[in-house]
Structure 1
Amino acid sequence: MKYSLSILLILVLTGACRTRVETPRAMNPAAAVRQKAIDEIREADQNFSILSEKQGMARAFTTYAADDVIKLNDGAAPTIGFDSLRAQMARMPRDGSKLTWQVLKADAAQSGELGYSFGQWMLTNKDEAGKKSARHGVYVTVWKRQRNGQWRFVLDGGNQTPEPQ
């Protein structure tokens, strides 16, 4: 009987002394702000790719670009400013090419105001004979939260790589 009572007393005291262990995000509001920004950046980048696939690169890039955007161009000078980006996109051939990408990593500042995404892109097109081809690469996009709360990219660039294995 004494043995059973001792075990019961230990269990009751152990349960009474146990405190709830909270996740770091719950204990640190800054970590929660940062994680929310990361999630929003991932979502914005995925929606950016979906828009590019469905309505074309020009529409996607001009929809998600900030006014002070800088777009790095492979083998050419960067495009600086929204008006320059819009003009560049208007000159793109409408040949049915599709640019899509997949976010591999995203991160954000503790403030939740600035972050980046990194991933792999694929550009598919067809030649005059209808034969499909694809180019592959990696990209990095810097995102900034706008005054209205939306995420817009302020810097975007990438380069071509061999096809991922």
Structure 2
Amino acid sequence: MRASLVKLACLLSGFAWAAGTAAAASPADADHLIAEAKPMIDKANKDWLPAMERQDAKELAVPYAANGIFLTATGESFVGRAAIERLYQDRFAKARVLDGELIEDGLTAQGPLIYEWGHARIDSEQAGQRSTRAGAYLTVWRREPDGVWRIIRNLTF
């Protein structure tokens, strides 16, 4: 757990540096960005569990930017929508998701980025054995040139 937190702190400092290089947003600008992105973030979060239960790896990869990165709790990283889709396909080949929840604990905007954090739980079955995994997440969203907000970094721990 400590190694994951250290890795997260390093990644966050990189995000903070990247966000800090952009023009600082005023509180009103930050509120505007969050209001603009919130429907897309809420949709991705609402669609997450049903897609997990359907084992729909393609739908789970849709919210990611073409070069988005998923960093797992074990430190593995998957770059790009296709790699993230394969990650989910590999997970579905091993276990079936039975239930779960994703709870957003907060959102903040810094420069052009939105940081979302929360926690999730997944109940699954593998070889007849039920298990529960739970943990926290940090997701960084960026508006793409087409106006769609996409995940550029998703970290689970």
Instruction: Give TM class, smaller chain.
Output: 0.5 to 0.7
Cα distance in 1 between the residues matched to 2:130 and 2:86:
28
Deviation at 1:116, TM superposition (A): 0.7
Match of 1:3 in 2: none
Counterpart position of 2:12: none
Other-structure match for 1:141: 139
Query: Which residue of the partner structure matches residue 10 of structure 2?
Result: none
Quick check: 1:41–1:117 contact (8 Å CA) kept in 2?
Answer: no
Assess if the C-alpha contact under 8 Å between 1:49 and 1:99 holds in 2.
Answer: no
- Consecutive unaligned residues of structure 2, counting only runs of 5 or more, are 1-24
Shift in alpha-carbon separation, 1:128–1:84, aligned structure 2, 3 A = closer
Number of residue-to-residue matches in the alignment? 128
Structure of greater Rg: 1
2:61–2:82 CA contact under 8 A, matched in 1? no
* Counterpart code for 1:156: N
CA-based RMSD of the aligned residues comes to 2.5
Conserved? CA contact 2:51–2:60, under 8 Å: no
Query: TM-score normalised to the size of structure 1?
Result: 0.65
1:66 paired to 2:65:
yes
Which structure has more relative contact order (CA 8 Å, sep 6+)? It is: 2
Is it true that 1:36 corresponds to 2:32 in the alignment? yes
Is the 2:118–2:136 contact (alpha carbons within 8 Å) kept by the matching residues of 1? Answer: yes
CA distance in 2, matches of 1:127, 1:68: 31
Once the 2 structures are TM-superposed, how far is the Cα of residue 39 of structure 1 from its aligned partner?
A: 3.0
Query: 1: distance between equivalents of 2:100 and 2:59?
Result: 10
Change (3 A) 1:148 1:72: same
**1:35-61 CA-partner distances (Å, limit 9, x unpaired):** 022234443333212211122262443
Q: Which runs of 5+ in 1 are unaligned?
A: 1-28, 160-165
Tell me: CA distance 1:91–1:41, structure 2 relative to 1, closer, same or farther (3 Å). same
TM-score, L = length of structure 2: 0.68
Q: 1:133 Cα deviation (Å)? A: 4.2
Percent of aligned pairs with the same residue?
A: 18
Which deviations, in whole Å up to 9, do the C-alpha atoms of 1:65-121 show, x marking residues without a partner?
A: 0011111022243111222222222222254314531111111124xx311100011
Q: 1:51 to 1:126 in 2, by over 3 A?
A: same
CA contact (8 A) 1:42 1:103 kept: no
Contact (CA 8 Å) 1:52, 1:59: kept in 2 or not?
A: no
Shift of 1:63: 1.2
